[in-house]
Amino acid sequence: MEYVESEEFVKQHHTNFRVLSKLLSSEFGTDLKMATSDKQSSPKPPPSPSPLRNSKFFQSNMRILISGGAGFIGSHLVDKLMENEKNEVVVADNYFTGSKDNLKKWIGHPRFELIRHDVTEPLLIEVDQIYHLACPASPIFYKYNPVKTIKTNVIGTLNMLGLAKRVGARILLTSTSEVYGDPLIHPQPESYWGNVNPIGVRSCYDEGKRVAETLMFDYHRQHGIEIRIARIFNTYGPRMNIDDGRVVSNFIAQALRGEALTVQKPGTQTRSFCYVSDMVDGLMRLMEGDDTGPINIGNPGEFTMVELAETVKELINPSIEIKMVENTPDDPRQRKPDITKAKEVLGWEPKVKLREGLPLMEEDFRQRLGVPKNK
């Protein structure tokens, strides 16, 4: 039997279609237009922050969120930001690798707030700037829980970007030199796309940060979010976790305990080490500047692992030996930042040399390990 639509049915069908079209265009209009347009439009203007910011009767402080602010670099960033009396600092941390001890001098301060929070869950607060540092950065921690690591990088970054979109905040992501993988170009400029193993034991961190960078730029282009991306290289200094699997902290802890310094074979692989105060200075300059990044922030002074071990031995405990051990998979052979862009755009370059920074870190480790200095 042939089915014939009634005139009433056709009218109702067209009405429903028009209503649905209006709903879709109001909810997803921007997305649909961008998806169907052949030409890439310029980024949207950034969302407006709270109207109070423009009130001549209200002199508000800059309210700054640091995710992962109880960690090594995050806590030093808190110290520097709190020096400015116009800053209110909010730290969100789940203490997976961070510690309240790193922030004890600020707990109870009227311009400081500490929230126990995991960034894989949404956070609803009002802020003007977001420093998104939350993520395990040590191989021991991210290999212990790789799924949590990649969730922090992907879902955590989505949540922080969602917050930035809601309140019109500028957001800075601390990405990593690990996005370059085992580099085929030396030193590594920001234009290099990298050589990363997507299924290795380190991929949860390496690829997680690469996805985080992608999300940052997608939110910037699609929603007009003000973004900044820092690719940070090896950083060292006080408050690093002892025995966290990173080479400087391992060597100093071993030297203070009188243990052999374990250098992973072949010992000729290189790293560049930036003292934490220089790193914090670079991050703040990037946040306050006009460039989205990514920008390499690190010390271009390059050392082999054997050279680093010999320096630690000389400065801390000349009586210990250096022992070669097997290497871990996917360990990059070379790591050295090209900081030309940081110099040109931020006017930044590191000031603290390795031989100046190591004794400062040694003093902190001696206090925490309870090892007095020989007179």
Burial of residue 100, with CB atoms counted within 10 A of its CB: 0-12 exposed, 13-18 middle, 19 or more buried: middle
Q: Which tokens hold the place of 244? A: 């966290």
Catalytic residue (one of 142, 180, 205, 236):
205
Q: Which tokens hold the place of 228? A: 């900044």
Size of the chain, expressed as the number of residues it contains: 375
Q: Which tokens hold the place of 46? A: 């950034």
Backbone torsions φ then ψ of 116, nearest 5 degrees = -80, 110
What is the C-alpha to C-alpha distance for residues 270 and 182, in angstroms, rounded to an integer? 11
Give the number of other Cβ atoms within 10 Å of residue 353's Cβ: 12
> Annotated catalytic, 219?
no
Terminal-residue alpha carbon distance, the chain: 105
Amino acid identity of residue 161, one-letter, is L
Q: Which of 260, 249, 269, 253 is nearest to 334 (CA)?
A: 269
What is the enclosing helix (H) or strand (E) of 325? Answer: strand 322-325
Catalytic sites, residue numbers: 205
